[in-house]
Structure 1
Amino acid sequence: MNDLHATRLDLLAGGSDARTEMERAIGIAQSPVCAHVFTRTMFDEARQAAAASNPDSRLSGLAFTAKDLFDIQGQPTPAGSVVLAHAPTARADALAVARLRAAGGVLTGRTNMTEFAFSGVGVNPHHGTPANVSDAATPRVPGGSSSGAAISVASGAAFIGLGSDTGGSIRIPAALNGIVGFKNTARLTPANGALPLSTTLDTVCAMTRSVRDAITAHEILAARRVTAGNAPLAAYRLAVVKNVFFDGIEPAVAAAFERSLKALRAAGARIVEIELPELAELATINATGGFSAAESHAWHRLLLERSGAGYDPRVAQRILRGATMKAHEYIDLIHARRDWIARVETALAPFDAVLSPTVPITAPSIASVAPGAERDDEFFRVNALLLRNPSIINMLDGCAISLPCHADGELPVGLMLWHAALHDDAVLAVALQTERALQN
Structure 2
Amino acid sequence: MTAAHPTLASLADDLAAGRTTARKLVEDCLGRIADPAGEGQRVFIHVDRDAALAAADAMDALRRANAAPSRFAGIPVSIKDLFDIKGQVTRAGSRALEDSVPAETDATAVARLRRAGFVVIGRTNMTEFAYSGIGINPHYGTPKSVYKREVGYVPGGSSSGAGVSVADRMAYGALGTDTGGSCRIPAAFNGIVGYKPTQSRVPLDGGIPLSSSLDSFGPLANSVACCAILDAVLADEPITALVPRPVKGLRLAVPTTVVLDDLDDAVAKTFERALEILAKHGALIERIEMPEFFDVGVMNAKGGFSPAEAYAWHRYLITSKGDVYDPRVAARIMRGASISAADYIETVAARPSLIARAAARIAPYDALVLPTTANTPPKISDLAADDAFTRENLRALRNPSMINNIDGCAISLPAHRAGEIPVGLMLAQSGGNDRKLFEVAAGVEGVIRS
1:107 partner SS: strand
Q: 1:150-206 CA deviation, whole Å, 9 max, x = no partner?
A: 110010010111010000000000000000001010100011100100111000111
Instruction: For structure 2, list consecutive stretches of 5 or more residues without a partner in the other structure.
Output: none
Does residue 1:221 correspond to 2:234, yes or no? Answer: yes
Give how far 1:338 is off.
1.4
Partner of 1:421: 431
Match of 1:7 among 11, 23, 45: 11
Does residue 1:435 correspond to 2:445, yes or no? Answer: yes
Provide the C-alpha distance between the structure 2 equivalents of 1:335 and 1:164, rounded to a whole number of angstroms: 25
Q: 1:298-341 CA deviation, whole Å, 9 max, x = no partner?
A: 00001111111111111111111111111111111011111112
Please identify, of 408-417 and 331-340, the stretch whose mean Cα deviation from structure 2 is larger. 331-340
Does residue 1:245 correspond to 2:251, yes or no? Answer: no
Is the CA contact (8 Å cut-off) linking 2:196 and 2:216 kept in structure 1?
yes
CA RMSD of aligned residues (A): 1.3
Matches within 5 A, 1:152-301: 152-225=165-238, 229-301=243-315
Q: TM-score, normalised by structure 1?
A: 0.97
Partner of 1:142: 155
Does residue 1:52 correspond to 2:58, yes or no? Answer: yes
Describe the shift of the 1:35–1:140 C-alpha distance in structure 2 as closer, same or farther (beyond 3 A).
Answer: farther
Provide the C-alpha distance between the structure 1 equivalents of 2:99 and 2:92, rounded to a whole number of angstroms: 12
Give how far 1:137 is off.
2.1
Partner of 2:374: 360
Please identify, of 321-330 and 214-223, the stretch whose mean Cα deviation from structure 2 is larger. 321-330
Give how far 1:77 is off.
0.8
Does residue 1:130 correspond to 2:143, yes or no? Answer: yes
Partner of 1:25: 29
Please identify, of 226-235 and 242-251, the stretch whose mean Cα deviation from structure 2 is larger. 226-235
Does residue 1:379 correspond to 2:393, yes or no? Answer: no
Match of 1:369 among 383, 386, 392: 383
Provide the C-alpha distance between the structure 1 equivalents of 2:107 and 2:358, rounded to a whole number of angstroms: 33
Please identify, of 403-412 and 333-342, the stretch whose mean Cα deviation from structure 2 is larger. 333-342
Give how far 1:142 is off.
0.4
Is the CA contact (8 Å cut-off) linking 2:107 and 2:207 kept in structure 1?
yes
Is the CA contact (8 Å cut-off) linking 2:233 and 2:239 kept in structure 1?
no
Does residue 1:317 correspond to 2:331, yes or no? Answer: yes
**Counterpart residue type for residue 428 of structure 1:** F
1:109 partner SS: strand
Instruction: Please list every run of at least 4 consecutive aligned residues from structure 1 whose deviation after the TM superposition is greater than 6 angstroms.
Output: none
Q: 1:267-310 CA deviation, whole Å, 9 max, x = no partner?
A: 22111111112322222211121111000000000111111111
Provide the C-alpha distance between the structure 2 equivalents of 1:297 and 1:233, rounded to a whole number of angstroms: 44
Give how far 1:226 is off.
7.0
Provide the C-alpha distance between the structure 2 equivalents of 1:382 and 1:111, rounded to a whole number of angstroms: 23
**Counterpart residue type for residue 233 of structure 2:** I
Provide the C-alpha distance between the structure 1 equivalents of 2:371 and 2:245, rounded to a whole number of angstroms: 24
Instruction: For structure 1, list consecutive stretches of 5 or more residues without a partner in the other structure.
Output: none
**Counterpart residue type for residue 24 of structure 1:** D
Provide the C-alpha distance between the structure 1 equivalents of 2:263 and 2:75, rounded to a whole number of angstroms: 38
Is the CA contact (8 Å cut-off) linking 2:172 and 2:222 kept in structure 1?
yes
Please identify, of 352-361 and 52-61, the stretch whose mean Cα deviation from structure 2 is larger. 52-61
1:233 partner SS: coil
**Counterpart residue type for residue 434 of structure 2:** D
Partner of 1:67: 80
Provide the C-alpha distance between the structure 1 equivalents of 2:429 and 2:256, rounded to a whole number of angstroms: 15
Please identify, of 269-278 and 212-221, the stretch whose mean Cα deviation from structure 2 is larger. 269-278
Give how far 1:225 is off.
4.0
Matches within 5 A, 1:392-411: 392-411=402-421
Is the CA contact (8 Å cut-off) linking 1:265 and 1:271 kept in structure 2?
yes
Partner of 2:401: 391
Describe the shift of the 1:306–1:392 C-alpha distance in structure 2 as closer, same or farther (beyond 3 A).
Answer: same
Provide the C-alpha distance between the structure 1 equivalents of 2:426 and 2:145, rounded to a whole number of angstroms: 20
Give how far 1:233 is off.
1.7
Q: TM-score, normalised by structure 2?
A: 0.95
Provide the C-alpha distance between the structure 1 equivalents of 2:157 and 2:81, rounded to a whole number of angstroms: 12
2:441 partner SS: helix
Please identify, of 146-155 and 134-143, the stretch whose mean Cα deviation from structure 2 is larger. 134-143
Q: 1:233-288 CA deviation, whole Å, 9 max, x = no partner?
A: 22431111122111111111111111111221222211111111232222221112
Provide the C-alpha distance between the structure 2 equivalents of 1:178 and 1:274, rounded to a whole number of angstroms: 28
Is the CA contact (8 Å cut-off) linking 1:154 and 1:178 kept in structure 2?
yes
Provide the C-alpha distance between the structure 2 equivalents of 1:156 and 1:257, rounded to a whole number of angstroms: 27
Match of 1:38 among 33, 38, 44: 44
Partner of 2:341: 327
Is the CA contact (8 Å cut-off) linking 1:226 and 1:425 kept in structure 2?
no
Provide the C-alpha distance between the structure 2 equivalents of 1:58 and 1:80, rounded to a whole number of angstroms: 32
**Counterpart residue type for residue 339 of structure 1:** S
Provide the C-alpha distance between the structure 2 equivalents of 1:66 and 1:58, rounded to a whole number of angstroms: 20
2:446 partner SS: helix
Give how far 1:51 is off.
1.3
Provide the C-alpha distance between the structure 2 equivalents of 1:422 and 1:235, rounded to a whole number of angstroms: 22
Is the CA contact (8 Å cut-off) linking 1:33 and 1:133 kept in structure 2?
no
Partner of 1:90: 103
What is the identity percentage for the equivalent residue pairs of Structure 1 and Structure 2? 47
